[in-house]
Structure 1
Amino acid sequence: MNISFIGAGNVASSLGNLFANSGHTVKYGTQNPNDGQLSISEACIFGEVVCFAIPYSAMEDVLTINKESLKGKIVVDITNAINIEDWSPLFLGEDSGGEQTARLLPESKVVKAFNTIFADVMKPEKQQFDGQKLTAFIASDDTEAAETIKKLADEAGFSGFVVGGIRNAHHLEAIAHLNIAVAISGGGTDAGFTYFQRK
C-alpha cells in the first residue's frame, strides 16, 4: 500500500519506518522537500492512505488546499491540539481536531489514530510493556477505513483497537493530553497506554 505522511518529524518518521518495515511504500511530504521527500500536494496525491503529522494549527489551511486530492482517500489525523512551545493543551470544548478534519474533508474517509502514542515508543524494541503491546486507538465513521488502519497498526507492531465513530476523537485527544501531562510532569515519553479487554 502507498502511504504518505504530511510532515517528516519524529512521529511521521518513526511511524513511517514501522509501516515501511511492514512492506508498505512510504513517502513524506513537506513544505521544503529534500532527500527524496515530496511536496505536500504531491504526497496527498501519492498516498492511498495519507497521514497528517503536522501542527494542529496548520491543519485547516493544508486540508483546504488539498481537499480535491484527498477525495475518496483514507486520511489519518494524528494531530493533537497543543501549544507547540510548551505542549499545553488547546481546549476545543465539545469539539475535536478529528471531527474538524472530518468536516473539512466530507468526501474523504477520515480516521483519528496514533495520536495517543509518543514517537519514542514507535520503535520495535519499545512497543511492548511487560509483554503487552501498545494500544493504537482508532476512531472513524467509515468502518472499512477503520479496519484498514487497524490492520496497518497491527502489522506495525501495535494492538489496533477501533473505538467507534469520529465523535470519539474527542476522547482520544483527551487521552493524548493526559499522556503529555504525565510526560512533562516527569514521566517522560518512553511510556504509553495498553488497553486490556477481557473476552
Structure 2
Amino acid sequence: MKIAFLGGGNFGSNLATLLVAAGHDVVVGVRHPERARPQATYAVVSLKEAAAHGEVVVIAILYQACAEVLPRLAPQLAGKIVVDATNALQDDWSPLPLGSTGSAAQTLTGLLPGARLVKAFNTVFADIMTRDRLNRGGHPVTAFVAGDDAEANAIVAEVAASAGFAPVVTGPLYNARYLEAMAHLNIQLAVVQGGGTNAGFVYHQVSE
C-alpha cells in the first residue's frame, strides 16, 4: 500500500521504517526535503508530494502546526484515508485545553473536511516503534483506532498490524478524545513522573 507521512521527526521516521519493512511503499514529506539527510529505506519528498502519493496519509507534524499546513494540502487529501496521530500539547508537554468535548481530531476534521479521518498511533511513543520494543513480554503494543468510516478504520488497523501492533478499533471518531486523554496520561507517567518512554499500552481482552 502507498503510505505517506506528513512530518519527518522521530515518530514519522520510526513508523515509516516499520512500514517499509512490512512491504509498503512509503514516502515521508517535510517542509524542506533538500535539507533532509538521505534515507536508505524511504524517499523524503515535499509535503505536497507526500499528500499526493499516499493512499493512507499519516499526520506526523505537531498539532500546533496543523492549522498552517493542512488547509493547503486539503485538495490532495480529499477522499483519502488520513490518520491523525497528533496530540494537543503545550510546550511543557501538558495538555492544550480544547474544551470538555473537544479533541485534536475534531479540529482536524474542520481543516480537512473531505478526508476520511481516522485517529490512530497517538498513544504510542516514537521510542518504542521498533520490532523488538513493540513486543512487551510476548504481547504487542496496542494501536487504538477511532473513526466514523468503518472501511477506513479496518484499513488503518491492517496497516498497524503489518507494522507489528495489535490494533483495536474503538468505534467512532468521537472516541478520539479518550485516546488523546490516554496519550496525556502516558506522557505524565513517562515525562512528568520520570518513568521514561520505553513504555506502551497493551490492551489484553479475553473472549469468553
Into which bin does the TM-score normalised by the smaller protein fall? over 0.9
1:21 and 2:21 matched: yes
Q: Greater CA deviation, 160-169 or 55-64?
A: 55-64
After TM superposition, the score normalised by the length of structure 1 is 0.97
Query: Could you tell me how far apart the structure 1 residues matched to 2:24 and 2:137 are?
Result: 28
Q: What residue is the counterpart of 2:190 in the other structure?
A: 183
Q: Deviations over 1:6-44 (max 9, x none)?
A: 100110011011111110011011111133421111111
Query: Could you tell me how far apart the structure 1 residues matched to 2:32 and 2:159 are?
Result: 28
Q: What residue is the counterpart of 1:111 in the other structure?
A: 118
Give how far 1:108 is off. 1.0
RMSD of the TM alignment (CA)? 1.0
Give how far 1:96 is off. 0.4
The 5-angstrom pairing of residues 44-83 of structure 1 reads: 44-83=51-90
Give the residue type in structure 2 aligned to 1:90.
L
Give how far 1:116 is off. 0.1
Q: What residue is the counterpart of 2:144 in the other structure?
A: 137
Query: Could you tell me how far apart the structure 2 residues matched to 1:79 and 1:146 are?
Result: 17
Give how far 1:104 is off. 2.2
Query: Could you tell me how far apart the structure 1 residues matched to 2:194 and 2:80 are?
Result: 39
Give how far 1:198 is off. 1.6
Query: Could you tell me how far apart the structure 1 residues matched to 2:131 and 2:28 are?
Result: 21
Query: Could you tell me how far apart the structure 2 residues matched to 1:106 and 1:82 are?
Result: 23
1:86 and 2:92 matched: yes
Q: Deviations over 1:101-148 (max 9, x none)?
A: 122222211010000000111100101212111000000000100000
Q: Which runs of 5+ in 2 are unaligned?
A: none
1:193 and 2:196 matched: no
